[in-house]
Structure 1
Amino acid sequence: MSDLTKMTAVEIAGLVASGETSAVEVAQAHLDRIGAVDDRVHAFLHVDTEGALAAARAVDERRAAGEELGPLAGVPVAVKDVLTTKGVPTTVGSKILEGWRPPYDSTIVERLRDAGTVMLGKTNMDEFAMGSSTEYSAYGPTRNPWDTDRIPGGSGGGSAAALAAYEAPLSIGSDTGGSIRQPGAVTGTVGAKPTYGGTSRYGLVAFSSSLDTPGPCARTVLDAALLHQVIGGHDPRDSTSIPAPVPDVVAAARLGATGDLTGVKLGVVTEFTGEGAEPGVMAAFRDAAEALAKLGAEIVEVSCPHFKYALPAYYLIAPSECSSNLARFDGVRFGLRVGDDGNRSLEEVMSLTREAGFGPEVKRRIMLGTYALSSGYYDAYYGQAQKVRTLITRDFTSAFEQVDALISPTTPFVAFPIGSRTADPYQMYLADLFTIPTNLYGGPAISVPCGLSDGLPVGFQIMAPTMADDRMYRVAAALENAVGTLTPPAL
């Protein structure tokens, strides 16, 4: 493995800017690493070799011309296959979009290109971001570099696994119910969900429009903050985009790395420290909380009584929105078309296309959502779930009147074996038990590694008020400085 693939994004950018190495050399080292290990990991659905090398050459030409480069120029990045990329396949892990090459870039990808990052390709994911293990991809599961018989989390397991396998120093994910943070936790990497509306959804293939949030993934907190700074900010093409600048997350991460949390008050969510989490996960979490206390943070317990209803509320709200959003995949405008032999009606073609194109989990959620929105059941299911969402938001508001941030384990358990939960959707859904409340609220949250349980990574979650993304980065960087980063076994 090349030394370049072991470096942080900050280190790589520094070498490229100084001319000690070229962006082309960096890109080629990562492409070689993908070629060497991705047959065992399957983090990528598409590797854009030509595009990556062309982007890297452009960075080298700019440096040679004396241009000042941005803080991530020349740094490779992998992009979850939920974001449109002009001329590059975007499948969302589904057969219904197999081979589709979008005619435009998403705002996130646009900003990555403008920043001079080098896009390596598109990463594997649960189909339409519906899953917690990346086993529901139509193109086969991604495997965890810590143990290739185990899941890398979901839905963005490809983005997290690419980091842990040293195939990329940075990646992009999307978080609807934990799909950035949960993969980060089980692969020993950093995953941040920004404030909803703090990153643009333009060009993000929608699952649940009131919940979907693109965000940064990295191996260090500072790298994640730098990536967050690049992709965040107002976008007039997204009606839900917040018309305000991104908080200074990079300065906050640098401040946290000094290791001083004096004056910071953190609340342990009592509802997430009882039954439900594995003993090894709780032990690692408590050790990490003690480490933060030694840095000067005040640790108290805070009750958020309605968090226990977040899981059922989410699995009414998200499927309801998905049943609406996925209606556009009809075999008419783009993607797969089945049965169009001139002898069938449009309705028959649409039905055959969806039957062939959607996988079982997507069909399950569409049916759940359609039922929850149907006449006679709307008030009893979807309406009630939205009321619960309001109560959860009130819990967060009350909690943040008492503390600066909330803390909990990211997931109740470490990475589980591939195939062990696919027959029981409820057990699969429990992987997001601790991450879903933040999505319903809309605030930012980050997962940072805090130790091992049975030799597998444990994630520590920090939740902050809306538009206080900098606060979570400060705490995360302090924890990372205290406990260190994790290095997976060699592939």
Structure 2
Amino acid sequence: LHGVELLVPENIVFDGVEPGVVAAFEAALERLQKAGAGVSRIIIPAFSEIFDLMARYGPLVTAEAFALHHERLAGADADRMDRRVVMRTRLGSKTTLPDYIAILDARNRLIADTERLVGNRLIAFPTVAHVAPPIGPLEQDDDLFFATNNKTLRNTALGNFLDWCGVSIPCGAGEAGMPVALLLSATARRDEALLGTSLAAEAFIRGDFT
């Protein structure tokens, strides 16, 4: 893995992460370094701005999902859908056309800014901030469900917004012995380079080699 340069973001992606997830991620990162990969820890300003945009305008994906499914949500089909999916998707109706255009303009700017910052390096952080949670409490408490769901989607949502490609590779276990994964990402249109490095790095990330 000599010549591979990894960036580990220090903002957003480790907020509220379970200790077991951090431990498994850092152990995998250490194995990658021993295999020759370089690691730098940086702040990626776009990460914070993405969530500022969501707080101001609502999530881009929610607005687009509502635009795609608004007829279903207004009719009998909504009764056949998970009520929580219906609730979340209907929130997209609050995003106005000027808001949507503002999100897209900001997205284009943040993609360009981040591509200049990252260059040809890869980005590494935990795929999910927590291991798989017990289902029972989530079924009984909508507030807990939405809070957990937001946390589950948070880290991967960043790459989605920035048009990144990514590969999630198991890297150990966290709380309750549940699986943890390391997400390797690259900027847009670098899929082949990312896949090649991921194949070379997979055994070290998984811990097959030490």
TM-score, normalised to structure 1's length? 0.38
Q: What runs of 5+ residues in structure 2 fail to find an aligned partner? A: none
* Residue of structure 1 in register with 2:125 after alignment: 408
* Residue of structure 2 in register with 1:390 after alignment: 108
Query: Is structure 2 residue 11 aligned with structure 1 residue 268?
Result: no
| CA apart distance, 1:450 | 0.6
Change (3 A) 1:315 1:430: farther
Query: Is structure 2 residue 47 aligned with structure 1 residue 307?
Result: yes
Q: 2:186 aligns with which of 464, 472, 481?
A: 464
Query: Is structure 2 residue 42 aligned with structure 1 residue 319?
Result: no
1:431-450 deviation per Cα after TM superposition (whole angstroms, max 9, x unaligned): 11110111112221010001
Q: What runs of 5+ residues in structure 1 fail to find an aligned partner? A: 1-260, 331-349, 487-491
| CA apart distance, 1:451 | 0.7
Change (3 A) 1:274 1:485: closer
How far apart are the structure 1 equivalents of 2:151 and 2:17? 10
> Cα RMSD (Å) of the superposition?
2.5
Change (3 A) 1:468 1:459: same
Residue 194 of structure 2 aligns with an amino acid whose one-letter code is: M
* Residue of structure 2 in register with 1:363 after alignment: 86
Equivalences for 1:180-329 in 2 at 5 Å? 261-272=1-12, 274-311=14-51, 313=54, 315-327=58-70, 329=72
1:109-140 deviation per Cα after TM superposition (whole angstroms, max 9, x unaligned): xxxxxxxxxxxxxxxxxxxxxxxxxxxxxxxx
| CA apart distance, 1:355 | 4.2
* Percent identity over paired residues: 25
1:433-471 deviation per Cα after TM superposition (whole angstroms, max 9, x unaligned): 110111112221010001111311111000112221122
Q: 1:435 aligns with which of 148, 156, 168?
A: 156
1:44-79 deviation per Cα after TM superposition (whole angstroms, max 9, x unaligned): xxxxxxxxxxxxxxxxxxxxxxxxxxxxxxxxxxxx
| CA apart distance, 1:426 | 3.0
Check conservation: 2:7, 2:122, Cα contact below 8 A: yes
TM-score, normalised to structure 2's length? 0.82
Residue 279 of structure 1 aligns with an amino acid whose one-letter code is: P
* Residue of structure 2 in register with 1:255 after alignment: none
| CA apart distance, 1:419 | 3.3
Check conservation: 1:272, 1:409, Cα contact below 8 A: no
Q: 1:445 aligns with which of 146, 166, 180?
A: 166
Check conservation: 1:267, 1:407, Cα contact below 8 A: yes
Change (3 A) 1:372 1:413: same
Check conservation: 1:307, 1:437, Cα contact below 8 A: yes
How far apart are the structure 2 equivalents of 1:466 and 1:371? 29
Check conservation: 2:28, 2:206, Cα contact below 8 A: no
How far apart are the structure 1 equivalents of 2:44 and 2:109? 10
Q: 2:77 aligns with which of 338, 350, 354?
A: 354
| CA apart distance, 1:302 | 2.5
Count of paired positions: 200
How far apart are the structure 1 equivalents of 2:45 and 2:129? 18
Specify which structure has the higher proportion of helix: 2
Where 1:466 maps in the other structure, the secondary structure is coil
Residue 294 of structure 1 aligns with an amino acid whose one-letter code is: K
Q: 2:196 aligns with which of 463, 474, 480?
A: 474
Check conservation: 1:449, 1:457, Cα contact below 8 A: yes
Where 1:275 maps in the other structure, the secondary structure is coil
**Higher RCO by CA contacts (8 Å cutoff, separation 6 or greater):** 2
How far apart are the structure 2 equivalents of 1:282 and 1:440? 24
